[in-house]
Amino acid sequence: MPDPLSLSVRDAAREIAAGRLSAEAFATACLDRIAAREPIVGAWHYLDRDAALAAARARDAEAPRGPLHGIPIAVKDLIDTADMPTGYGSPIYEGHRPAADAACVALARAAGAVVLGKTVTTEFACFTAGKTANPHNPAHTPGGSSSGSAAAVADGMVPLAFGSQTAGSTIRPAAYCGCVGYKPSFGMVPRAGVKALADSLDTIGIMARTVGDIMLFHAAIMAIPYVAPAMPETAPRLGLCRGPHWEEAEPEGRAALDSAAERLAGAGAVVRETRLPPECAAGDKHQQVLGSFEGLRNHMPELYRHEALLSARLRDEKIARGRQLTLAAFRAACRGAEAARAAAQQWVSEFDAILTLPAPGQAPRGLADTGSAVFNALWTQLYMPCLTLPAGRSPDGLPLGVQLVARRHADERLLQVALWVEDRLGQGGSS
């Protein structure tokens, strides 16, 4: 029997369907890895080994349900699960049991996935970090807010995981931890059953170790036919965009992006420097207004009954800003964001994808700071699909990544370009 942890999700699914690997053996291998590494990494908020193995045995006892049949997955603790506690990263909801699975979890289960447990999130996917450490160096952050999911996938504890993104909460931790993170176009994956932060920005994200596994996971949770990935026959047109925060990029981040652009151009890609359209210049301001105005209203149940249990930073920053904002300011931000989206759609049509940074550089030292979202938030606000790939290591040995971004609803094209880029950069960015 092959070692389950060495297999891609696609290969593991084939082995399970052929009867050469059991779902129980795959789940056992993941749970054993978790038992060995969890004291160091701290990726999980909830685990029930017996329940996970029982679910895996149930998959072994039935005909394949779908493309994820028997595949272990992790669910960010911002996302509802009916059979497991969902705490949203807050003491307010410790032990909370939702009445139903979130739609994305139900879709994954319908495709045959085995949910191992819930991974750590920051408080309500905002600022306050959880216990998770970077699996490559526990003195460094894994990023936020999908910290547990990124760390668990990167450390080999589970092959697939759900995250979410309102600013940079899927792309950034995936880059810091060294796995593949994907944020689809806004509205593509249903958000029912996911704790809301900002309704105009919140997006379900997913993580895996390869682009091919992202493609399989994405098809399953979209309930669309899965087509095995085929390498594009022609090299892509890539727009190299350093963005408005290039001065905030660390030396290792700049070097990783420039090296990737050079290598991809050498492999045949057309790489051309480009700048965001002027309509995107106020993106940071719009992001803050949208997030704070909507965040205040979405946190009203907690404010009304449990304000003392909210972190000081959440109360004094995001919620305090939300209280000061007028409806006119919110509407102006909505109009500005809509104008930026229209301009960006036209701008990016010149390219198959934009090549940019997913984070300023390596994961910061310490666990309190989950890193900066300045290289993520604008793309989220523009509703564009984003994907980060490993692209080497920093001088400190920590992962570095590059980010690919495409037109809204050009997700399939983005994934094809990412497949080509992954092949040229090599797994983990090695040559």
Would you name the residues annotated as active-site residues? 76, 145, 169
Cα 363 to chain centroid, rounded: 15
Instruction: Please name the residues in contact with 260: beta carbons below 8 A apart, sequence gap of 6 or more.
Output: 355, 391, 402, 421, 425, 429
CA distances from 253 to 5, 207, 376 (A): 30, 21, 14
Number of H-type helices and E-type strands within the chain? 15, 11
- Virtual torsion, Cα 103, 127, 44, 3, nearest 10 deg: 80
User: How far apart (Å, rounded) are the C-alpha atoms in residues 259 and 188?
Assistant: 32
Nearest CA among 176, 96, 186, 93 for reference residue 140? 176
Question: What single DSSP character describes residue 429?
Answer: G
- Do residues 102 and 67 lie in contact, with contact meaning Cβ atoms separated by under 8 Å? no
φ/ψ region of 48 (left if φ > 0, alpha if ψ in -120 to 50, else beta) reads: beta
Nearest CA among 255, 327, 340, 341 for reference residue 294? 327
Cα 334 to chain centroid, rounded: 24
Place of tokens 């176009």: 185
